[in-house]
Homo-oligomer: A and B are copies of this chain.
């Protein structure tokens, strides 16, 4: 695109009566040029509407000024929040952002990673579904920050999934629930693995029974499909892999006329906007989505700044953000049916 005839650095140089290099310097290393001439250059540039050609600059600097972001599914509100965080951070640092959606397909990740690699300075790879080996095989050795995934020796931003599950289980245990079902997300999701682990630990610690329900797609339909199993499991509470799945559960349970939370409690994870607004609202484990995105970009940029330092044995950066159980006022979680009047003092299991 670009206008009729975009002004080049030469035009500015001529107009300001200086050389190209002076213009270049005036624009990128201001302190190296005389304030007076700098003013002249800036004036000329503004007047001509000059904007450096990024391709030309990139050709010589080897940097594109672009970042890439790969997510499994843009239509999941969790990821759109992450996108917003990444976008904001990129914009702040004057980077443009390529965004790609893999539609939850692992193979697309590697493909996109490969395609993107040449056009960006760095990539945020969010919640990848591919196995470690495949990921490492790609050009991943470069400036790639993982989100919601940890791979040995790779920079990453994660959240404390296990602790989130701990909070959820302890909350339920305190309410007298003794049998909890977990609707698992994708087998290939690292976060899901972490959550399962956290759940098992906390279930043991609180003496709670944990029922594991198959792997379901992390979508509304997944929850719909899992609802009947959850009901049949004998659990008095269900924790869903994420809020979207939890909404699916709610929907199907409603359709079957099952009162939530009176008969069964439902918990989500992620704290997407809508979870606060359903009826009943969703008690959920909140994850700092935007902040995670920002943190990933920050890490990426510092990686780019350091450059070789990383290779020189500097430690691999990692950042783990906290999770926080959000208990809503009117919520899909209630004391266990048989405890409704007991005041919540469990005799079995401790709160550790």
Q: CB within 8 Å of B: which residues of A?
A: 1-3, 6, 51, 53-56, 58-59, 62, 64, 66, 74-75, 77, 80-81, 83-84, 87, 96-101, 103, 115-123, 139, 142-143, 220-221, 224, 247-248, 251, 254-255, 273-274, 277-279, 330
Contacts A2-B117, A58-B55, A117-B1; is A83 near B87 (CB within 8 Å)? no
Stoichiometry, copies per complex: 2
Q: Is the CB of A75 within 8 A of B64?
A: no
Contacts A74-B83, A97-B99 hold; do A121 and B1 have CB atoms under 8 A apart?
A: yes
Q: Chain B residue with minimal CB distance to A255?
A: B279
Known: A75-B77, A99-B97. A251 touches B278 (CB 8 A): yes
Docked complex Cα distance between A221 and B274 (Å): 9
Q: Which residues of B contact A77 (CB under 8 A)?
A: 75
- The 8 Å CB contact of A254, one of B3, B115, B279, is B279
Contacts of A81 in B (CB 8 A): 75
Q: Within the complex, what minimum Cβ distance (angstroms) separates A274 from chain B?
A: 6
Q: How far is the CB of A81 from chain B (nearest CB, A)?
A: 7
Given contacts A54-B119, A98-B98, contact A277 B254 (CB under 8 A): no
Closest Cβ–Cβ distance, residue A68 to chain B (whole Å): 9
What's the Cα separation between A62 and B3 when bound, in Å? 12
- A80 partner residues in chain B, CB cutoff 8 A: 74-75, 80
